[in-house]
């Protein structure tokens, strides 16, 4: 079992829909990152969380430390949001390295 599990693996939505991507982890963490990767492109950091909730534009990220769970929400989705969304954790015991989920492939159709 992976230390970081994401669901769903693939998600197709219509433009304008509200989208939720989930991340569960099984280890103690000091921080959780949500990343975005476009096809053939680099990786962009969307959020870093250690507690609570953060919002940036149409993106919202929440984390529940007790339940070891985080969600990424996209409101009013748009085709340009189509990308792979990756959850990554910095484990308390690993120092500096990140452990990644497998990613969620999001496709938003016009």
Contact between 99 and another protein by CB under 8 A: the answer reads yes
Contact between 93 and another protein by CB under 8 A: the answer reads no
Residue 23 CB partners (closer than 8 Å, separation 6+): 4, 5, 6, 32, 34, 69, 70, 71, 72, 87, 101
Among 12, 14, 26, 30, binds another protein (CB under 8 A): 30
Hunting for tokens 């959020």 — which residue is that? 47
Among 72, 85, 90, 106, binds another protein (CB under 8 A): 90
Shortest Å distance, C-beta 92 to another protein: 11
Distance CA(9)–CA(86), nearest Å, equals 10
Contact between 26 and another protein by CB under 8 A: the answer reads no
């Amino acid at each position: 079992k992976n230390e970081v599990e994401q669901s769903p693996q693939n998600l197709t939505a219509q433009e304008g829909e509200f989208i939720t991507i989930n991340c569960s982890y099984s280890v103690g963490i000091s921080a959780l990152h949500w990343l975005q990767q476009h096809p053939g492109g680099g990786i962009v950091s969307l959020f870093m969380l250690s507690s609570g909730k953060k919002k940036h534009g149409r993106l919202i990220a929440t984390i529940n430390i007790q339940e070891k769970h985080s969600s990424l929400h996209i409101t009013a989705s748009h085709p340009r949001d189509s990308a792979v969304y990756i959850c990554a954790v910095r484990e308390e015991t690993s120092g500096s390295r990140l452990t990644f989920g497998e990613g969620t492939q999001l496709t938003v159709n016009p």
